[in-house]
Structures are given as structure tokens and as C-alpha cells.
Amino acid sequence: MLHLPVRQVIRLFSIYRIVVRYGLDELILSTKIFRPLRLFAYLTPGYWLRPKHLTRGGRIRLALEELGPIFVKFGQILSTRRDLLPDDVAIELAKLQDNVSPFSGEIARHILEHAYGRPLSEVFAEFNYTPLAAASIAQVHAARLHNGRKVVVKVLRPGIKNMIHRDIELLYLIADLTNRYWTEGRRLRPREVVSEFEKNLDNELDLLQEAASATQLRRNFQNSDLLYIPEVEWDYTQSNVMVLERISGVPISDIATLKRLRINFQYLAEVGVEIFFTQVFRDNFFHADMHPGNIFVDTSDPFHPHYIAVDFGIMGTLSQDDQHYLAANFLAFFRRDYHRVAELHVHSGWIPANTRIEEFEGAIRSVCEPIFDKPLKEISFGLVLLRLFQTARRFNMEVQPQLVLLQKTLLNIEGLGRQLYPELDLWKTAKPYLERWMDERVGVRAFFKGIRTNLPLWAEKLPELPMLFYEALQQHHIQSVQLKRLNHEVGELRQEIKRHHSRLSVVLTGLALIFTASFFLSIQSWSLANSPMVGLTLGIIGSLMLLSALLKTKS
């Protein structure tokens, strides 16, 4: 029987109340999958209680906002996939990217003054109490420092940590129920996925961590003309407050303005793909929340525009093995080498080792072959992912929690590319970069790069080699002496064990003779006249053997 904590029961009722309040239960029944039950939509509470003045997209957006940050993030991900949603719903969900209901400027002032321990006027020369943007975790205000520099101030929402941890507990409950009652649960590893999600949210709730991530990403693209990262004002940054250089650019979602400025959309889309692969494979440190609300375009050079990124709360990294397997998988896909793809999945441990390679190869071919040689606008990655999921289930492929962020980012990138330049050839753009990276990683260039990288270390250690060699010889001599002594001690121990066994045999034989002598001496009606003499003789021999063993032991 399932026993739920009281707070989780209360939260479930709260979720149901919000679902009913915005008529989402009626919307669920009106979807294609529930079409046979749509007549019962008139019996749902949502049908009668929903706000009549709101569109269905508006109801979904407001419900997600009221449900909390985790649900808002889910809506943000969906908003980037216009190919998977009706237009009216996609337009409303796009507002979740940077247009969530803000908290008041007075509350922001109270948080800031408590953080800095002094009046706001002493910290900033100017502070705009009306937020520039509000998201699920924090909101941003414009300000100016006393040195004249324009900045933005990011402030965490009050009580946000408790809200997130409450819903994370609920997600763990759902994950446990999935594991217990669904046969696919173990393969999908829902608890590990929730754990990965929780770790990322914890990072997002610490603005010092976000500031450090922004600084690292800025360093990675210091000399690049593809991506600009604003500078962190560390003297004003704390765990719940972050201050950044204020940037100016056109939001990537403002397609009308970008068209009016005659921006080169093809270049912008191809650069976006290059930035993604550079972060993932060159730096192994990628922005994992690349929805349109976090991306701007510097339009000073319309023919060669560059990106500006903000909001660095969710960053992703991969192990070297995952990097290698992903790059090899991508290249094998681009070359249509499905046998190699199947082999890589087995070697990486993503599918069971006893999987038939040829069978898995055929399944992958049937999923991927139809999408090649097509522009992005003709490829439904939603459908591709669905078919890959079905293939994974058929071959018992487990979900890899460490790749969830990467998959989410890929969806964002694909949705962004679809909006900017639908003719983008994703394969043609990415393939040369991956080939170059693989060559640098495992090819001849990798060999010489390794020598070049390690040469300073070798030069530093070269003067120490004679001493290191002498110390190695000394260590070898000491170990040889110790080994000889150990061998001698082991030999002595073996001899002692043999002597002990010999004495033990004598003792046991002596005891046997004594017991036998006792038997002969105890028989009264023995037919042989000399039986007492036999018993006495055996007793004397047994006693002498025991005495001999005792004397050897003392010696």
C-alpha cells in the first residue's frame, strides 16, 4: 500500500486544483489520444470552471506559472519546439522565457539591502525598480554603478529554494512509482534523471556558481567573434544576487526586427551550430539553457552578426568517454555508417553487450535514413526522437542521465535553427567540425599536440631525471632487500609449519597407542595370556612418543 507524506498529498491536491482552475483537464480530454472520451469533457470540473476570457494557450501558460519553477522550465523547453505545438500555444509558452509574472521592486530592494547590509543608494547610483525581465528562478533589474558603468542585477525569487525542493520531492515520488509499477521504469532510470535535474537546479539557485560559469564561458570565447559573454561584477555578486555588465542586442526571437535590419540568417544559423559543437567538444562546457529568452544578437555587422548569451545557471559537461562516443556517433550518423553506430552503442554500455549488432544496425537505419538530404524545415526531430525511443525500448537501451542536458540543448538548438534559417543543412554544417575534432583527439594531430602540450612539463622535469633515476635505483635496492628478507621469513615459516605438523603426527600416534594400551589392560577375559604385557608395551611406546614431542616443542 502506498503511503504519502502529508506535504506531498497537499501538493498533489494543489496541482489538481490549478489544473481544474484553468480547465486543463478539459484540454487533456480534447486531445487526439483521448478523442473517444471527449464526450465526457462536459463532465469535467475544468469545463465549467475555466476562465472563459482566456485562450487555451493563455490557460496553459498561467497554469504552468502558478504550478511553479519546474513546470515553467518544462514550458520553456516546449516553447522552442513550434513544430510540436499549435501556434497559439507556442506563442503563449514563449512568454515563459523572460516574461513570467515578476515580484515587486520593493521586495527586490529589501532582498538587496539585506544582502549588502546597507541602503541600496549606497550600492548603486541608479536602480530601476521595474524589472527588465522575470523568469522562473529570478528576475533582472537595470542599474548603474557609482563608477558610471551600466549593469543588470539578477535577484533570486523569495522562497524559491523551498518551492523547488518541494517539487523535487514530488518528482522523486513519481520516479519511485514509475520504477515500481512500470516495466520500462528501470530502463528509463527516472530516479537518476530526477537526480541530474536536481543537481542542475541547485546550481541555478546559487548565483555565485552561475557567476563562475559565466566567467569560465567568457574566458573560453575571449578571442572569438562568434559569441559574447557579459562580464561579471564580482564585488557586487553574492549567492542570491549577481551583477553583470549590461549588454545591448536584439532578442533572437524578434525575427521581424532582425529581418528589418537585413541580418544574414544563414550565417547566424550556421554559427549557432558551430558555437554549440565548440562548447561541447572543444571546451567540454556548454550553455544548457539556450532558449530564445537567453540569446541576443549583436547587429552592428548585419552580414556577420554574433550572438550574446545571458543566464548561465545551467551548464553542462561530459566525461571524456562520453565526448568521444558522442562525436564518433555523430560522425557515423553523418556518414550513414549504421554498423559503426551500433558498435559504439554496445562498446559504450548504452545497450546490453549481448545485443545483435546487425539487428540493431537495421533498426537505426530505418529511423535515420529518411531524414538525410533534407533541409531542417522538412525534418521532424520530434518524430525522429519518438522512433529512436521506440528503438531504444526494443533493445533495452537505458537512459543516460548525464546526457539529458545535452539532449535538451540539442532540442533548443534545433528549434532556434528552425526559426532562423529553415534551409539549414545541419549535417553539412556539423560534419567538418566533428571530423576536425576527432582528428585532433585521436589522429596524427592529436599525437603531435600531446607532445607539444607535455613538452614544457618534460623540460621542467629533465634536470630532475638523474636524481629521480638514483632514487628509483635506491628504491629498487631497498625493495630487493625487503623481498629477500620476506622470502627468508616465509621459508622459515614453512619449515616451522612442517616441524609442527611432524610433532602433531607424533602426538596423535602416541595418544592412539596409549588409548589402545588402555583397551588391552581393561580386558579381563582376554584369551591371550600376555594381553597385559601387550598393553603395557604399547603404553610405554605411546608415552615415550608424547615425551619426545614435548621436549622438541620446548627446544
> Is 289 marked active-site?
yes
Non-local CB neighbours of 473 within 8 Å, separated by 6+ positions: none
Q: Which residue has the cell 627468508?
A: 488
Non-local CB neighbours of 235 within 8 Å, separated by 6+ positions: none
Give 105: exposed, middle or buried? Use CB within 10 Å, 0-12, 13-18, 19+: middle
Q: Are 410 and 303 in contact (CB under 8 A)?
A: no
Residue 338 C-alpha cell reads as 549504421
Could you give the CA distance from residue 81 to residue 72 in angstroms, rounded to a whole number? Answer: 15
Residue 178 C-alpha cell reads as 514509475
Could you give the CA distance from residue 267 to residue 270 in angstroms, rounded to a whole number? Answer: 5
Could you give the CA distance from residue 78 to residue 291 in angstroms, rounded to a whole number? Answer: 10
Residue 81 C-alpha cell reads as 519546439
Q: Pick the catalytic residue from 289, 311, 322, 373.
A: 289
DSSP secondary structure code for residue 39 in this structure: G
The phi, psi pair for 134, rounded to 5°, reads: -135, 130
Q: Which amino acid is at 358?
A: E
Q: Which residue has the cell 525511443?
A: 389
Residue 241 C-alpha cell reads as 544576487
Instruction: Give the catalytic positions in this structure.
Output: 289
